[in-house]
Amino acid sequence: MTVTNACAVRRPTRGCRCFVAALFMLALSGAAGAQGISPGDLPKDGYKLPGGIEPVVQLRTYYFESESTSGKETEAWALGGWLGLRTPWYGDVFQAGANYYISGKLYGPEGKGGTRLLTSDQDSIYVLGEAFGAFRFAGQTFTAYRQLVNRPFINPNDSRMIPNTFEAYTLSGKQDDVAYTGGYITKAKLRDTDDFRWMSNVAGGTGDQAGVAYAGMTWNFGKGGSVRLDEQYAVDVFNTFYADVRYPIALDDKTSLALGAQYYPQTSVGDEQIGSFSTWGYGLQAVVNHGPFGGQLTWTQTGTGYSTQNPFGSHPSYNSIQQVDFNSAGEKSWGIRGDVDFASLGAPGLTAYVFYVAGTDRLANGTGAPLPDRNETDVRVDYAFAKGTLLEGLSATFRYSWLHEDGAAQTGTQLRAYLNYAVSF
């Protein structure tokens, strides 16, 4: 029985359809949220295939429904995940891995595409998203061909059924408290497609096809402190530099404060395939945790010249939330968030948060014309079944958001409800 037939009995309200779909998902299956596989040592425990090969199975089902501030509706429900294999390190030098991603259509009404669970035409997605060979020597790991890359502005953006993956040639390693990585990325497969396209085309360029050269490092210090630096040069498109710092302060045995700051200038380069521009963004963050409760205050601002661009992954801004990134040209935004971990309150595995962000002083790219102010409120609830229980590895997530824009026809709403199950052999 499909959702289409169930809803055809009598046209339920939009809210009813959302609730029914979420219940069906919970009844089917559906955590862990690992994005795929990467080079590394295999776990000592766990089932191995002949030859010591590790099987990886992640199941996921996802329902998404939204209605924009202009009234456009998108809706889909998908079932899938990924199936992968990873070899041991042969001779302690070479490892291979492959991962096949599936986002199968369960429900996707015509004219409501755009959820990014399926293709824009509401078709299923089947793709060999990862297929890599890795060599390690002298503490370095060189990885070639289809793989995950996870850096600011270039990352899996694993917020739908399947993540972004990349055709790339990368080198990574670690020295004491400093981890580093870099390489050249030729192509990307985004969340809603089975095609690998040149990075310049993914960014919107129409000239000669080109990739992205990048280098990044992370220095971890103290108890939770870190500094990240990244340089990402998209040939003939734009260059992005990124820096952030996080500094934790223990106030007492139950209370901690963490201060953060980030900065990311961008400028067009070479043939300037998406136009000539120069812009920047910065953010400030303060996070307080006391027992099971947490809270944070955030501030971000974008340069007046252009919106900051993130075609290769999720935006790293502190105020990038469910529907919008609050990264328009000239935009100033502030946010407030509250978190609760219910473990010490009698409900282990249950967490929730509410996040509100408001943005002002937005400008249109190119013309500098003023754009309406906006604000968004997000609610998220997660439940993960405990280790050692029958449903270990299963988690459920419910997310809902409201987006208000001055002068818009209506409030934009978005529902995300999904289940993940990391199969243990």
Question: Is 206 contained in some domain?
Answer: no
Cα–Cα distances in angstroms (integers) from residue 367 to residues 164, 364, 371, 383, in the given order: 32, 6, 11, 46
- 319 and 353 share one domain: yes
DSSP 42: P
Kindly report which listed range (9-23, 346-360, 393-407) carries the lowest average pLDDT score: 9-23
CA atoms within 13 A on the CB side of 212: 36
Q: What does the pLDDT average to over 361-369?
A: 95
Q: What range defines the domain where residue 136 resides?
A: 1-195+400-425
- 406 and 309 share one domain: no
Question: Is 209 contained in some domain?
Answer: no
Question: Is 379 contained in some domain?
Answer: yes
- 366 and 272 share one domain: yes
CA atoms within 13 A on the CB side of 271: 12
Question: Is 223 contained in some domain?
Answer: no
Q: What does the pLDDT average to over 355-379?
A: 97
Question: Alpha-carbon distance 296 to 250, whole Å?
Answer: 16
- 135 and 18 share one domain: yes
Q: Are 232 and 242 contacting, i.e. CB atoms less than 8 angstroms apart?
A: yes
Sign of CA dihedral 91, 218, 37, 34: positive
Q: What does the pLDDT average to over 3-11?
A: 35
Question: Is 211 contained in some domain?
Answer: no
Residue 241 carries which side chain, given as an amino acid letter? F
Question: Is 229 contained in some domain?
Answer: no
Helix, strand counts (H, E) of the chain: 3, 19
User: In this structure, what CATH number is given to the domain that contains residue 129?
Assistant: 2.40.160.10
Show Cβ contacts of residue 332 under 8 Å, excluding neighbours closer than 6 positions.
299, 300, 301, 302, 359, 360, 361
Stated length of the chain: 425
Report the Cα–Cα distance between both ends of the chain, in Å, rounded. Answer: 30
- 331 and 419 share one domain: no
Res. 310: pLDDT tops 90: yes
- Report how many domains make up the chain: 2
Nearest alpha-carbon partner for 308 in 282, 334, 284, 273: 282
* Two tokens, residue 121: 């035409």
Predicted confidence (pLDDT) per residue in 35-91, tens digit: 899 999 999 888 999 999 999 999 999 999 999 999 999 999 999 999 999 999 999
Whole-prediction pTM: 0.91
- 14 and 147 share one domain: yes
- 289 and 354 share one domain: yes
Predicted confidence (pLDDT) per residue in 195-254, tens digit: 999 999 999 999 999 999 999 999 999 989 999 999 999 999 999 999 999 999 999 999
Q: Are 208 and 227 contacting, i.e. CB atoms less than 8 angstroms apart?
A: no
- 163 and 252 share one domain: no
Bridge partners (DSSP) of residue 169 are: 144, 184
Sign of CA dihedral 372, 398, 35, 263: positive
Question: Is 339 contained in some domain?
Answer: yes
- 168 and 262 share one domain: no
CA 140, distance to chain mean position in Å, is: 27
Question: Is 367 contained in some domain?
Answer: yes
- 60 and 158 share one domain: yes
Dump the DSSP string for 147-181: E---BTTBS---SSSS--EEEEEEEEEEETTEEEE
- 334 and 247 share one domain: yes
Residue 395 carries which side chain, given as an amino acid letter? S
- 142 and 89 share one domain: yes
